[in-house]
Amino acid sequence: MSERSISIDRPRSLGRFFFQWEWLLVLIFVIVNVINSALSPFYLDVGNLVGSTNSFLDMAFLVMPMTFVIILGNIDISVASTVALSAVVMAVAFNAGLPMPLAVILCLVVSTACGLVNGFLLVKFKELSAVIVTLATMIIYRGIAYVILEDQAAGHFPKWFSFLSWGTIAHVPFILFVFAGCAVAFGLLLHKTSFGRKVFAMGNNLTTARYSGIKTDSVILVVSALTGLMAGFTSLFLCSRMGSTRPNVALGYELSVIAMVVLGGVSTSGGSGRIGGPILAVFIIGYLNYGLGLVNITANVLLIIVGSLLILSVLVLNVRLGGHRRPAPPAAKVIAAGKAPDEKA
Amino acid sequence: MSGETKAGATRARVMRSGESFRELGLLVFIVLLSAAFQLRNHRFFTIANIEDLLTNTAILGILAVGMMLVLITGGIDLSIGATIALAGMTSALTGVAIPNINPFLSILEGMAVGLVIGSVIGLLVARFKVLPIIATLGMMNIVRGLTYIESKGQWVSSYQMSAKFTALSTGTTLGVNNLVLIAVVIFALFWYFINHTRTGRRIYAIGSNPEAADVSGIPRRRLLWLVYATMGVLAGLAGVLWVSKFASAQGDTALGYELNVIAACVLGGISISGGSGKVSGLVLGTILLGMLNNALPLINVSPFWQQFIQGVVILAAVLTNVAVKRNNQRLALRKREI
ipTM of the complex: 0.80
pTM: 0.82
Q: Looking at CA atoms only, how far is residue A137 from chain B in angstroms?
A: 7
Number of domains in chain A: 1
- Closest alpha carbon within chain B to A309: B138
The answer to whether residue A39 is domain-embedded is: no
Q: In this complex, is the C-beta atom of A316 within 8 Å of any C-beta atom belonging to chain B?
A: no
From B17's Cα to the closest Cα of chain A, the distance in A is 15
B146 touches chain A (CB under 8 A): yes
Residues 73-102 of A with CB under 8 A from B: 75
Question: What chain A residue is nearest to B269 in terms of C-alpha separation?
Answer: A132
- For the residues of B211-236, what is the DSSP string, one character each? HHHHHTT--HHHHHHHHHHHHHHHHH
Optimal mutation site among A82, A304, A321, A334, interface B, most CBs of chain B within 10 A: A304
Answer yes or no: is pLDDT of B271 > 90.
no
pLDDT by residue (tens digit) across B120-160?
999 999 888 888 888 898 899 899 889 888 887 778 877 77
- Whether A19 is in a domain gets the answer no
Question: Is residue A251 within 8 angstroms of chain B, CB to CB?
Answer: yes
Q: Does A314 touch chain B (CB under 8 A)?
A: yes
The pLDDT of residue A334 is: 41
Give me the residues of B, 159-198, that contact A with CB < 8 A: none
Amino acid (1-letter code) at residue B325: K
Instruction: Return residues 223-262 of B near A (CB < 8 Å).
Output: 251, 255-256, 259, 262
Nearest by Cα to A344 from A217, A207, A248: A207
Minimum distance, in Å, between the CA of residue A209 and any CA atom of chain B: 22
The pLDDT of residue A288 is 82
| Residue B231 clears pLDDT 50, i.e. is over it | yes
Q: Which of residues 118-177 of A touch B (CB under 8 A)?
A: 125, 127-129, 131-133, 135-144, 146-147, 150-151
Distance CA B327, CA B316 (A): 16
User: What is the per-residue DSSP string for A289-316?
Assistant: HHHHHHTT--HHHHHHHHHHHHHHHHHH
Write out the DSSP string of A146-192: HHHHTT--EE---GGGGHHHH-EETTEEHHHHHHHHHHHHHHHHHHH
Residue B326 domain-assigned (yes or no):
no
Q: Does B113 fall in a domain?
A: yes
Q: How far apart are CA A133 and CA B87, in angstroms?
A: 31
Domain that holds residue A243: 44-343
Cβ–Cβ < 8 Å for B87, B234: no
Considering only residues 111 to 130 of chain B, which have any Cβ-Cβ distance to chain A shorter than 8 Å? 124, 128-130
User: What CATH number should be reported for the domain holding residue A218?
Assistant: 1.10.3470
Map residue A194 onto helix, strand or coil: helix
Establish if A3 belongs to a structural domain.
no
Residue B226 is assigned to a structural domain of this protein: yes
Q: With respect to residue A7, please indicate whether it lies within any of the assigned structural domains.
A: no
Contact by Cβ (8 Å): B205, B283: no
What's phi and psi for B173, nearest 5 deg? -125, 130
Amino acid A197: pLDDT:
92
Residue B102 is part of which domain span? 55-258
- On whether the CB atoms of residues A217 and A340 are closer than 8 A, the answer is no
Tell me which chain A residue has its CA closest to the CA of residue B256. A252
Asked whether the beta carbons of residue B130 and residue A137 sit closer than 8 angstroms, the reply is no
Question: Per-residue pLDDT tens for A298-328?
Answer: 777 878 888 888 888 778 767 665 433 444 4
Specify if A29 maps to a domain.
Answer: no
Helices (H) and strands (E) in chain B, counts: 13, 2
Residue A20, domain member (yes or no):
no
Asked if residues B228 and B125 have their Cβ atoms less than 8 Å apart, the reply is yes
d(CA B305, CA A260): 32
Hey, how many other C-beta atoms are within 10 angstroms of the C-beta on B247?
A: 17
pLDDT reported for residue B8:
52
Provide the mean pLDDT of chain B: 84
CA dist B126 and B132 (Å) reads: 9
The backbone torsions φ and ψ at residue A268, rounded to the nearest 5 degrees and listed phi first, read -75, -10
- Rounded Cα distance between A222 and A195, Å, is 10
Residue A80's pLDDT band (cuts 50, 70, 90): very high
Domain count, chain B: 1
Q: Is residue B328 part of a domain?
A: no
Q: Could you give the C-alpha distances from A119 to A140, B158, B184, B196, B271, in angstroms and in order?
A: 15, 47, 40, 41, 21
Evaluate whether residue A34 is within a structural domain. Answer: no
Give domain status of residue A322, yes or no.
yes
Separation of alpha carbons A58 and A235, rounded Å: 8
Closest chain B C-alpha to A318 CA, distance in angstroms: 7
What confidence score (pLDDT) does residue A18 get? Answer: 53
* pLDDT tens per residue, range A43-62: 777 777 777 787 888 889 99
CA distance linking residue A264 with residue A310, whole number of Å: 9
Residue B282 domain-assigned?
no
Query: B304: distance to nearest CA of chain A, Å?
Result: 5
Quote the CA–CA distance of B10 and B137 in Å, as a whole number: 42
